């Protein structure tokens, strides 16, 4: 199992300026924030299940830019039907990276369905994602990075990570209007 913060840092190391990154509720937002502030980041703070639909909308609206969603297994399970919508719409500029620690870490560590029989990669593949991967070892991270940043999408990566209690690293603004205006300005320019 991988450690979340070093993985996210490696994933976006030397990122191109036009890469748009959306982070899902809770730990993924803290992880992307810890990797560095960027005007092309949009962080979800309190809307569980909405990061994937939002990312799909951004990918459709900005087809010339790569959009990467970093979210958790708990949040994706909250809106699992979005995988079918993404698979059918098939934006070739969208990649989903699911940091799967098999728990609802933000609410006390209760197990998610992925701690049981649920296989998110298999679901994404069945929904029509062009490229999928499941990784859990350090030597697989470079393949993940290449898939997420270069391969035609939609791309789905199920990344098995350790359960860790890490400090929150807050994005520059929790103000929704300020955050969306900053992201829009960067995404549209």
Cα-based torsion angle of the residue sequence 1, 41, 63, 86 in order, rounded to the nearest 10 degrees = 50
| pLDDT given at position 172 | 64
| Per-residue model confidence as pLDDT tens digits over 82-99 | 999 999 999 999 999 999
The pLDDT confidence band at residue 181, using thresholds 50, 70 and 90, is confident
- Mean predicted confidence (pLDDT) in 154-182: 83
| Per-residue model confidence as pLDDT tens digits over 34-45 | 999 999 999 988
| pLDDT given at position 155 | 97
Q: Under DSSP, is residue 106 helix (H, G, I), strand (E, B) or coil?
A: helix
- Mean predicted confidence (pLDDT) in 120-138: 96
> How many CB atoms within 10 Å of residue 97?
26
Which class for 140: exposed (0-12), middle (13-18), buried (19 or more C-beta within 10 A)?
middle
- In the predicted model, is pLDDT for residue 158 greater than 70? yes
| pLDDT given at position 137 | 95
| Contact between residue 153 and residue 92 where contact means Cβ atoms under 8 Å apart | yes
Place of tokens 């098999």: 102
Check whether the bond before 57 is cis (ω within 30° of 0).
no
| Contact between residue 153 and residue 178 where contact means Cβ atoms under 8 Å apart | no
The pLDDT confidence band at residue 113, using thresholds 50, 70 and 90, is very high
| Helix-, strand-, coil-residue percentages of the chain, each rounded to 5 | 40, 20, 40
The token pair that represents 129 in the structure block: 């994602």
Share of the chain above pLDDT 70, in %: 98
- In the predicted model, is pLDDT for residue 173 greater than 70? no
CATH H superfamily, domain 4-8+18-188: Thiamin diphosphate (ThDP)-binding fold, Pyr/PP domains (3.40.50.970)
For residues 23 and 162, what is the distance between their CA atoms, to the nearest angstrom?
18
Residue extents of the structural domains in the chain: 4-8+18-188
| pLDDT given at position 47 | 83
- Mean predicted confidence (pLDDT) in 100-107: 88
| pTM given for the model | 0.92
| Per-residue model confidence as pLDDT tens digits over 54-73 | 999 999 999 999 999 999 99
Residue 22 pairs with which residues in a beta bridge? 42, 69
């Amino acid at each position: 199992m991988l450690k979340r913060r070093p993985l996210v840092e490696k994933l976006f190391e030397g990122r191109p300026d036009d890469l748009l990154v959306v982070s899902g509720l809770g730990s993924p937002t803290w992880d992307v924030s810890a990797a560095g502030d960027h005007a092309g980041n949009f962080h979800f703070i309190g809307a569980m299940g909405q990061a994937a639909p939002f990312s799909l909308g951004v990918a459709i609206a900005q087809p010339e830019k790569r959009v990467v969603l970093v979210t958790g297994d708990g949040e994706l399970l909250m809106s699992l039907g979005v995988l079918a919508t993404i698979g059918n719409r098939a934006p070739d500029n969208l990649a989903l990276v699911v940091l799967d620690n098999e728990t609802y870490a933000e609410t006390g560590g209760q197990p998610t369905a992925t701690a049981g029989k649920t296989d998110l990669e298999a679901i994404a593949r069945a929904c029509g994602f062009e490229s999928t991967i499941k990784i859990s070892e350090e030597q697989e991270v470079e393949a993940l990075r290449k898939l997420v940043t270069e391969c035609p999408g939609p791309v789905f990566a199920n990344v098995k990570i350790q359960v860790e209690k890490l400090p929150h690293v807050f994005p520059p603004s929790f103000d929704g209007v300020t955050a969306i205006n900053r992201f829009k300005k960067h995404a549209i320019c």
